[in-house]
Amino acid sequence: VAETLGGLALGFQVALSPGVLAYAVLGCLVGTLVGVLPGVGPLAGISLLLPATFGLDATRAIVLLAGIYYGSMYGGSTTSILMRIPGEAASVMTCVDGYAMTRKGRGGAALAVAAVGSFVAGTLSVVGLMLLAPPLAEFALRFGPPEYTALLVLGLLALAFMSTGSMPKALATAALGLLFGMVGIDTMTGFTRFGFGLRELGDGIGVVPVAVGLFGLAEVLFTAGQPEPPPVIRPRLAELLPTRAEWRASVGPIGRGTVLGFLVGVIPGSAHIISSFVSYAVERRLSRRPERFGQGAVEGVAGPESANNAAASGALVPMLALGVPSGPIPAVLLAAIMVHGLTPGPMLIRQSPELFWGFIASMYVGNLVLLALNLPFVGLFVNLLRIPYRWLYPAILAFCVLGVYAVNQSAVDLWVMTIMGALGYLLRKLDFEPAPIVLGLVLAPALEMSFRQSLALSGGDYGIFVARPIAALMLAAGVALLALGALPAAVRGVRGRLGLDSPLVKEDTAR
Amino acid sequence: MMRPLALAALLLALAAPAAPAQEAYPSRPITVVVPFPPGGQADLNARPIAAALERVLKNPVGVVNRAGAAGAVGMASVAGAKPDGYTLLLALSSISIIPEADKLFDRKPAYTTDQLAPVALLSADPTVLVVPADRPWKSVKELVEDAKKRPGQVSFSSSGVYGTLHMAMEMLMHAAGVKLKHIPYNGAGPALTAILGGQVDALASGPAVVIPHVKSGKLRPLACWGDRRVASLPDVPTFKELGYEDVEFYIWAGLFAPAGTPEPVMQRLRQAVGQAVEDPEYKAAMARIETPIAYMDAPEFKRFWDKDAKMLAEAVRRVGRVEGAQ
């Protein structure tokens, strides 16, 4: 512990020196911007700036790039809440209740809760990263294909709780998302499936064009199809901040989202996106009034936004502790350190303590900077809603097209976005929730791959999923979740008998 | 917006008046296309050479990443580019694999290798065979004997089916007459994570990737695919020393131009690369990414490439179409 404190002191000396601090602030600024722009996600953002950092020293390079990474997790919530456009894939869940809050005039409150939740999650998970990295990283490596399959199945079963409408509808849209995820080159055999001769579809359908189309474009279409334009919201200053009741409702989700997000983030792979979905499902399940979800429940913003920030730090655990690229973004960060001749991993902390501790300390500083950046922006961003729709919506469309095109410079992505926009419009009309499509699309390739890897390892024996303890435990949890989801009434009955229902709920039912 | 260099190049190209035919090369920015995302092996090779070429030619040389379809998108874009020496390609060994795999699946080929002319080889890293330190095998002999006793049981991870890391193992399996279980991952990073977690029994990967984990004691190197030992692993034999004559494989990086580039331009380029690889800053940058420079000029590189491509094509055909997961 004394060693850690000594290291941290050294780290703060490095992180607070003007030369390094400036890069941390710059990274946070760029990250916020990258998060706000629909389409341009953290991976595109740091990939773009990576070459520019080759001329910097290693510490400044990593501080700048990491700032973009966790900064984008803050920025991602802004457009989700105000315009129902996910700034990046991990913010899809925030669109649901965040945007509903905006329509009720609570957009400012949602933004403030998201910023504070992100700050708490970001800071606490850096503490976790600092203290728990080595043992957690060893644990994460034990996640082989069967464990990963079980985790993804668990993520999909969480849908049973996520659905704000009927469960069959949610499962149907998730199945559609899984089917979209089948497009592309089969990683196990090299066959191209459902490619329609388009080389661009070889890598599969991108998450960004689908998310922007289903949410952003569909929202514009839907509003344009209304007989009367929606009233322009004129937020007053007093309404910008969350009420005491809203704060109180957010504390639990922020705490749970942090722990959950961090643990899910540690696991190698792209699991971090599901942390926000699982957090949403958990909050809805724990809520005494789950019917409020989808109608602007502040818990539905606080939980997922905290979870995606915590997951961002969690993903750095295997990278720092073992030098293992646990996902596409840590892989780019690893490259940024390696071009300076440093080897990440267990030796890094001894080889160059200034870099290691400076990096850790810069994340504490960066989270503070982001909070200071984002809270004042709440007022500014909310006032964007004052713009009349005939000006605002064309601008939104332009940003959607620019952002989606910028990721791969692919016109195919724009067509995917357009088709998904039409599909999203149709789904809105038919009262389907589009979020499960995005979840299905994200999970399908990983699920298929780890499932088939598991069977290849076991020689076709399905027993591998229950023979390994971590996998078996998660599958059991998934089955339990599904059973509980099918019997919500029974659960409420049990809770009542156990005296778990608080007076608050009784008041509500009495009213 | 996302590719400032490309945009700058485009604007300059538009602004420049129609270039006279005998104009000296180079007179406007050169673009080196990397068909993979930033931070990968190809990207790390491209940036130092682009910077060194810029110093030699006294002309801007930018790097543009055009990733997609395991590199096919970017390679095809250069194969079809105007052969004027202003669009170059930095490709890895996989350049010879993609057209073969396209043939195998009756796909319309993204490009053919004769659409590209080699300029120079920059680096060639032999792959190294590693096993988790807790596995019993101390030598290739022990591993091969065990694998013969239980065919299809000993597993290995790779960067993907028909990927370079898969091909290296395929050559070994063919030469040793054993069948190992192939578990493909989507990239060299995840394949490394899998062996570090003990999910699989073996992996072939580049020295820079495996050496840190050999040093930390997690992985044990058994042999390497080069024609001589890897400098930082002096105790690890080559497969040739062990009697596997045809087992030779490198993950190499080379510079290409579209076929049909005028001879004077090719001459200038080759000469510039020859000077660039002697640049001290270039040498320092390559040392930092632990990649030894293995420079070869066009004629020599052409022979190397032809031999390598033939070997890889045979390996792809031997693997054939993979039916199902097994």
Q: For chain A, which residues score pLDDT lower than 50?
A: 495-511
Does the beta carbon of B322 lie under 8 angstroms from any beta carbon of chain A? Answer: yes
Task: Name which of A188, A331, A449 is nearest B39 (Cβ-Cβ).
Answer: A331
Q: What is the DSSP string of A202-222?
A: GG---HHHHHIIIIIIHHHHH
> Which of A45-59 are b and which e, b meaning 16 or more Cβ less than 10 Å from the residue's Cβ?
bbbbbbbebbebebb
Phi, psi of B238 (to 5 degrees): -90, 160
Tell me what the pLDDT averaged over chain B comes to.
86
Question: Would you call B68 and A200 a contact, using CB atoms and an 8 Å cutoff?
Answer: yes
> Cβ–Cβ of A189/B324 closer than 8 Å?
yes
Percent of chain B with pLDDT over 90: 50
pLDDT for B192-222, tens place per residue? 889 998 999 999 998 888 888 898 899 999 9
3-state SS class at A108: helix
Taking the Cβ of residue B323 and every Cβ of chain A, the question of whether any pair is shorter than 8 Å is answered with yes
Which residue among B38, B66, B181 sits closest to A332, beta carbon to beta carbon?
Answer: B38
- Given pLDDT bands bounded at 50, 70 and 90, which one contains residue B20? very low
Instruction: Return the pLDDT at A486.
Output: 65
Please name which of A215, A212, A193 lies closest in space to residue A204, comparing C-alpha atoms.
A193
- B43 with A459: Cβ contact below 8 A: no
All residues of chain A having their beta carbon less than 8 Å from the beta carbon of residue B182 are 456
pLDDT at B15: 45
Cβ distance B39 to A40 less than 8 Å, yes or no, reads no
How far is residue B185's CA from residue B200's CA, in Å, rounded to a whole number?
A: 11
Q: Considering only CB atoms, which chain B residues are within 8 Å of A50?
A: 38-39
Give the distance from residue B182's alpha carbon to the nearest chain A alpha carbon, in angstroms.
8
Task: Note whether A188 contacts B323, CB cutoff 8 Å.
Answer: no
Cα–Cα dist B213/A343, whole Å: 10
Closest Cα in chain A, distance from residue B160 (Å): 7
74-103 of B, contacting A, C-beta below 8 A: 76, 101
Q: What is the C-alpha separation between B286 and B283, in angstroms, rounded?
A: 5
Burial of residue A415 (number of CB atoms within 10 Å: 0-12, 13-18, 19+): middle
With beta carbons under 8 A apart, name residues in chain B contacting A460.
326
Report the alpha-carbon distance of residue A45 to residue A20 in Å, rounded. Answer: 20
In A, minimum Cα distance to B284 occurs at: A341
Q: What is residue A502's three-state secondary structure? A: coil
Who among A47, A192, A460 is closest to B38 (CB)? A47
User: What's the rounded mean pLDDT across residues B32-52?
Assistant: 86
Q: What is the dihedral of CA B271, B274, B278, B282, to 10 degrees?
A: 100
- Show which of residues 272-311 on chain B sit within 8 Å of chain A, judged by CB atoms: 285, 287-290
CB nearest A453 (choices: B183, B189, B321): B183
Q: Which of residues 187-206 of B touch A (CB under 8 A)?
A: 187, 189-190, 192-194, 196-200
Is the CB of A456 less than 8 angstroms away from the CB of B193?
no
What's the token pair of residue B18?
Answer: 């129609």
Question: What is the predicted ipTM?
Answer: 0.79
8 A C-beta contact, residue B140 and residue B223: yes
For B236-270, write each residue's pLDDT tens digit: 999 999 999 889 899 999 999 999 999 999 999 99
B134 touches A at CB < 8 Å: no
Residues of B in contact with A410 (CB under 8 A): 68
CA–chain centroid gap for A90, Å, is: 2
Q: Any bridge partners for residue B121, and if so which?
A: B254, B296
Residue of A nearest to B1 (CA): A406
Tell me how close the Cα of B102 comes to any Cα of chain A, in angstroms. Answer: 10
**Whose CA is closest to B131, among B22, B223, B66?**
B223
> Cβ contacts (< 8 Å) between B199 and chain A: which residues?
144-145, 457
Bridge partners, residue B252, by sequence: B124
Nearest C-alpha neighbor of B104 from the set B276, B320, B297: B320
SS3 B33: strand
* SS percent in chain B: helix, strand, coil, step 5: 45, 20, 35
- Check whether B2 has a pLDDT greater than 50: no
Residues of A in contact with B68 (CB under 8 A): 199-200, 202-203, 408, 410
* Beta strands B293-297; B116-126: pairing state: antiparallel
The answer to whether the beta carbons of residues B26 and A427 sit under 8 Å apart is no
Per-position DSSP letters for A241-267, written without gaps between them: SPPHHHHHHHHHHHHHHHHHHHHHHHS
Would the CB atoms of A331 and B189 count as touching at under 8 Å?
yes
CB within 8 Å: B3 and A331: no
- Say if the Cβ atoms of A452 and B186 lie within 8 Å: no
Place of tokens 């998904």: A420
Do A48 and B2 count as a contact with CB atoms less than 8 A apart?
A: yes
CB distance B39 to A50 below 8 Å = yes
Which of A69, A139, A191 to probe the B interface (max B CBs under 10 A)? Answer: A191
For residue range A469-495, list pLDDT tens digits in order.
Answer: 989 998 998 888 777 766 655 555 554
Across the interface, of A44, A340, A457, the residue whose CB is closest to B155 is A457
Whether residue B69 is predicted with pLDDT greater than 90 in this model: the reply is no
* CB-closest option in A339, A408, A456 to B325: A456
Q: Is A462 exposed, middle or buried (0-12, 13-18, 19+ CB in 10 A)?
A: exposed
pLDDT of residue A37: 78
pLDDT in tens, B111-149: 888 899 999 999 998 999 999 999 999 999 999 999 999
Nearest to A191 among B105, B193, B325 (CB): B105
The whole-number average pLDDT for the span B94-103 is 88
Q: 3-state DSSP helix/strand/coil percent for chain A, to nearest 5?
A: 75, 0, 20
